[in-house]
Amino acid sequence: MTKRLEGKVAAITGGNQGIGLGIAERFIQEGAAVSICYLSDKTGTEKTVEGLRRGGGKAVAIQADVSKLADGQRFISETVSQLGELDILVNNAGVEKRASFWDVTEADFDFVLNVNLKGLFFMTQAFVRYAMQTKRAGKIINISSVHEELPFPHFTSYCASKGALKMITRNLSIELAPLGLTINNIAPGAIETPINKNLLNDPVKLKSLLENIPLKRLGNPRDVASIAAFLAADESSYVTGTTFVVDGGLTWNYEEQ
């Protein structure tokens, strides 16, 4: 197999589990060196990174809370100092908090928006500033959600953050094109990761969700990682400002009896 990311360096936020880890594993297989940031669980993340290095790949882990601007900037600068350069940013870290609209607290709202939107915004800014200073082309990939389009009642803060990503990506595709930077979103549907642990442990809810998915299965991180590999590689050089939906047909599932 030709390695599509040979010689590239990728920084992946929240790359220690779930979709982010799936992307890190795939990027390593494709020949990239990978830096992942993690919020806590240093010991667990170190084991994960050892796993990533097992096949001879290059991987490092850096503690950073993406909701803090200084941490985001440090994640970019430490990636460069440890891996020598940076070509690809994957904004994957994300959180959600269930609450009916009338019950949402300021703390709930800030928790979700500070990670999914503010953190992503300024992480991307730090990456763009690095690319400008070093005159490098680069790729930005945001892990958005089908909920950048599709309503998700009781998760309005989450939908607000993912809807905003759609416009950030469209805007920046224009603003960053002269710098040789592309930006795209991946919008997963229901993927089997820790974020969905309540759903995965509830057979009734799970059955009703599966009935709504035309391909009749949940997605897995590898399904998302294969699109990320395409968007990170040179072969997608003419693709920018758009969203790739990976949802087993969930979003447009409508049928009349």
Ligand X SMILES: NC(=O)c1ccc[n+]([C@@H]2O[C@H](COP(=O)([O-])OP(=O)(O)OC[C@H]3O[C@@H](n4cnc5c(N)ncnc54)[C@H](O)[C@@H]3O)[C@@H](O)[C@H]2O)c1
Catalytic residues: 158
Min separation Cβ 29 and ligand X, Å: 18
Q: What share of the chain is helix, strand, coil (3-state, %, to 5)?
A: 50, 15, 35
Where does this chain touch ligand X (CB under 6 A) — which range of 36-44, 48-56, 81-89, 127-135? 36-44
DSSP assignment of 168-229 equals: HHHHHHHHHGGGTEEEEEEEE-SB-SGGGHHHHT-HHHHHHHHHT-TT-S-B-HHHHHHHHH
Name which of 14 and 138 has its Cβ closer to ligand X.
14
Q: Mask 194-213, x = binds ligand X (CB under 6 A)?
A: xxx-----------------
**72 scored as a contact of ligand X (CB under 6 A):** no
Question: 74: closest CA among 32, 47, 35, 111?
Answer: 35
To the nearest 10°, report the CA torsion of 73, 74, 79, 84.
90
Min separation Cβ 145 and ligand X, Å: 4
Name which of residues 40 to 69 contact ligand X (CB under 6 A). 65-67
Give me 252's structure tokens: 């447009």
For ligand X (CB under 6 A), the number of binding residues is 27
**178 scored as a contact of ligand X (CB under 6 A):** no
Name which of 19 and 229 has its Cβ closer to ligand X.
19
Name which of 172 and 190 has its Cβ closer to ligand X.
190
Min separation Cβ 6 and ligand X, Å: 26
Name which of residues 95 to 124 contact ligand X (CB under 6 A). 95, 115
DSSP assignment of 45-79 equals: HHHHHHHHHTTS--EEEEE--TTSHHHHHHHHHHH
Handedness of CA 75, 64, 155, 211 (dihedral sign): positive
Count the neighbouring beta carbons within 10 Å of the beta carbon of residue 178.
Answer: 7
Member of 11, 16, 117, 231 binding ligand X (CB under 6 A): 16
Give me 93's structure tokens: 């870290």
Where does this chain touch ligand X (CB under 6 A) — which range of 31-39, 130-138, 166-174, 175-183? 31-39
Member of 28, 93, 141, 183 binding ligand X (CB under 6 A): 93
Q: Are strands 88-91 and 138-143 parallel, antiparallel or unpaired?
A: parallel
Q: How far apart are CA 29 and CA 16, in angstroms?
A: 16
Min separation Cβ 2 and ligand X, Å: 28
User: Which residues of the chain form contacts with ligand X (CB under 6 A)?
Assistant: 13-14, 16-20, 37-39, 65-67, 92-95, 115, 143, 145, 188, 190-191, 193-196
